[in-house]
Amino acid sequence: MSTEKRIIKEINQELKKHIDHEYRDSVQKFTKKEDRNDRVTHYGVKTPIVRKISTKYYSQIKAKPKEEIFKICEDLLKSRCSEEKTIAFDWAFRLRKRYEESDFNIFELWLKKYVTGWGSCDDLCTHAFGAFIYQFPEFIPEIKKWSKSENRWMRRASAVVLIYSIRRDKYLETVFEIADLLLLDKEDLVQKGYGWMLKEASNLYPQEVFQYVMKHRAEMPRTSLRYAIEKMPPEWKKKAMRRK
C-alpha cells in the first residue's frame, strides 16, 4: 500500500473512532433541505477534533512536493465526506506560501466539482482559495465570471473568496463590483454570501459600505441588506432598513 493510500485509510479510521451520533444528528437537522440533495455525508466528528487529526497527518506529508499533497487532497475530496473535505482544504491552505499561478485551475476545479454546500464553499474560499486571490489578484476577472454561473455555490464563492483579502485591507473596489453583479440574485445563500462580504468590508470602510447600501437599499434583498449592516451603528441601521 502506498503512503498516500495508507494515510487516507488511517484518516478514515480515526474519524470513525470519534463519531458523535448526537452531534451528527444536530448537523443534519441544521442542513437545509435543499442542500441534502448534494450527496454530502457527515461522520459526525466535531470540528476541533477534525482539525487535530488534520494537523497530525499533515506532519507526515508536509515535506512532499506540493503536487503530491494536492493529489492526496483530491483523493480526500472524492469521498464527499464533510470531515475529509475539511482536512483537504486545511492542507491546501497550509501550502499557501508555495502557491503558483497554475494552482488557480486546481482550486477552481475543486470549487466546481467538490463544493456542494455553503459550508464547504466558505471553508475553501475563506482560506485556501481566498489566500490565492490575495496573492494573485490578476485572477479577479475570472472570479467575476462566477457571479453569472448557474451553480449557486460558484456565485456565492465570487463574493466569499474576497473575504480573506478584505480582512487584509485589499480590493474594496472589487467588493462593490461583485456586489453589483450579485445584487438581484434570487438564491438566499448567495444573498447571504455577498451580504457577508459587505459586512466584512464595513469593518474597515463603514462609510463607503453604508453609502453603497443606501444607494441600493430599494432593490437589494432584505437578507443581503441585514447582513451588510449588521455591525453598523444603530442609527445607520434604521436609515438603511427604512423603506422609501
CATH 1.25.10.90 location in the chain = 101-244
Contact 210, 236 (CB under 8 A): yes
pLDDT tens column, 66-82:
999 999 999 999 988 89
Which DSSP string corresponds to the chain? Answer: --HHHHHHHHHHHHHHHT--HHHHHHHHHHS-GGGGGG--B-----HHHHHHHHHHHHHHHTTS-HHHHHHHHHHHHTT-BHHHHHHHHHHHHHTGGG--TTHHHHHHHHHHHH--SHHHHHHHHTTHHHHHHHH-GGGHHHHHHHTT-SSHHHHHHHHHTTHHHHTTT--HHHHHHHHHHHTT---HHHHHHHHHHHHHHHHH-HHHHHHHHHHHTTTS-HHHHHHHTTTS-HHHHHHHHS--
Burial (CB count <10 Å: 0-12, 13-18, 19+), residue 145: exposed
How far is Cα 86 from Cα 90, in angstroms, rounded to an integer? 6
Straight-line distance from the first to the last Cα atom of the chain, in angstroms, rounded to the nearest whole number:
67
Alpha carbons within 13 A on the beta-carbon side of 45: 25
Per the CB < 8 A criterion, the answer to whether 183 and 147 are in contact is no
Over residues 113-169, the pLDDT tens digits come to 999 999 999 999 999 999 999 999 999 999 999 999 999 999 999 999 999 999 999
Q: pLDDT, tens digit, for every residue of 200-215?
A: 999 999 999 999 999 9
For the record, the C-alpha cell of 188 comes out as: 438566499
**Residue 241 to residue 125: CA distance in whole angstroms:** 29
CATH of domain 101-244: 1.25.10.90
Among 58, 118, 56, residue whose Cα is nearest residue 82: 118
Cβ contacts of residue 78 below 8 Å, gap of 6+?
114
Q: Mean pLDDT over residues 32-49, rounded? A: 70
Confidence (pLDDT) at 37: 45
pTM of the model: 0.92
Residue 39 confidence (pLDDT): 55
Q: What is the DSSP string of 150-167?
A: SSHHHHHHHHHTTHHHHT
pLDDT of residue 191: 98
CA–CA dist 184, 176 (Å, integer): 14
